[in-house]
Amino acid sequence: MKVSYHGHSVVKVETAKHTILFDPFINGNGACDLDAGTVKADVILLTHAHNDHVGDTVEIAKRNDALVVAPNELANHLATKGLKTHPMHIGGSREFDFGKVKFTQAFHGSSFTEEDGTIVYGGMPGGILLTVEGKTIYHVGDTALFTDLKMYGEMNDIDVAFVPIGDNFTMGPEDALVAADWINAKVTVPVHYNTFPVIEQDPDAFVSKVKTGEGRVLQVGEELEL
């Protein structure tokens, strides 16, 4: 299985049978190396409704006939656009043909702004635990530091965790280091940084201070083999 990072919070998981995209914010994401018009996806997993996470979901899902798994209100909204969706909620898990998905808490907001300026409430934000081919990937989503991250680390054998470090909208590097200790992943990868000036951070400085497991900066397009 290959897991790759594509700028901001975009993560791609390639298994023997499926390609899974997390939060495919491509157009408007200057750090992303993917093309929304050609990228393959069987499944799209969305942590919350902000535009810099929903991104190009509609175009990608329609072109690939992909399943979109998202928090309930967001999934229902995207279904009105003709997408094939599966709604979930915090604490819920489900076995799919591509793997097991469980939504965790995240402390953040969740709304989507349409092209005409209409703001659509997207339900509660979340993180996503994806277990596939015997490996567990934790996309923490956009969140502040909160102590239940320790519980998630104790309850799950997490192979790689994608943790936001950008500050301002999410936890910053100092809090993210605490989160990395609590999550206890074998590999911690920083995300949600340097896309915009307000979230500029030094990812190398962050990973050099990770004490639990390995801290690793993934360059855009770089892959981890799990």
For 129-179, write each residue's pLDDT tens digit: 999 999 999 999 999 999 999 999 999 999 999 999 999 999 999 999 999
Report residue 2's pLDDT band, with 50, 70 and 90 as the boundaries.
Answer: very high
Confidence at residue 99, expressed as pLDDT on a 0 to 100 scale: 98
Q: How far apart are CA 140 and CA 143, in angstroms?
A: 7
Q: What angle do CA 159, 162, 168 make, to 5 degrees?
A: 155
Rounded Cα gap, residues 165 and 203, in angstroms:
8
**Residue 30, pLDDT score:** 94
DSSP H/E element including 154:
helix 148-155
Split at pLDDT 50, 70, 90, the class of 215 is very high
CA distance 130 to 136: 6
Alpha-carbon distance of 40 to 61, in angstroms, equals 9
Would the pTM of this model clear 0.95, i.e. be above it? yes
Which pLDDT does position 1 carry in this prediction? 96
Structure tokens belonging to residue 206: 């962050």
66-92: pLDDT as tens digits: 999 999 999 999 999 999 999 999 999
Helix axes 173-183, 148-155, angle to 10 degrees: 30
Q: What is the pLDDT of residue 203?
A: 98
Q: Say which CATH superfamily domain 2-216 falls into.
A: Ribonuclease Z/Hydroxyacylglutathione hydrolase-like (3.60.15.10)
What is the three-class DSSP state of 51? helix
* Residue 206 backbone dihedrals phi, psi, to 5 degrees: -65, -55
Position 3 confidence tier, pLDDT thresholds 50, 70, 90: very high
CB neighbour burial string for 198-208, b if at least 16 within 10 angstroms, e if fewer: ebebebeebbe
Would you tell me how many other CB atoms lie within 10 Å of the CB of residue 222? 14
- Write the DSSP assignment of 54-101 as a string of letters: HTTHHHHHHHHT-EEEEEHHHHHHHHTTT-EEEEE-TT-EEEETTEEE
Summarised one tens digit per residue, pLDDT across range 21-54 is 999 999 999 999 999 999 999 999 999 999 999 9
Q: What is the pLDDT of residues 78-130, one digit of tens each?
A: 999 999 999 999 999 999 999 999 999 999 999 999 999 999 999 999 999 99
| Beta-carbon contacts of residue 56 (< 8 Å; ≥ 6 apart) | 24, 25, 26, 27, 36
Domain boundaries, the chain: 2-216
- DSSP code for 161: E
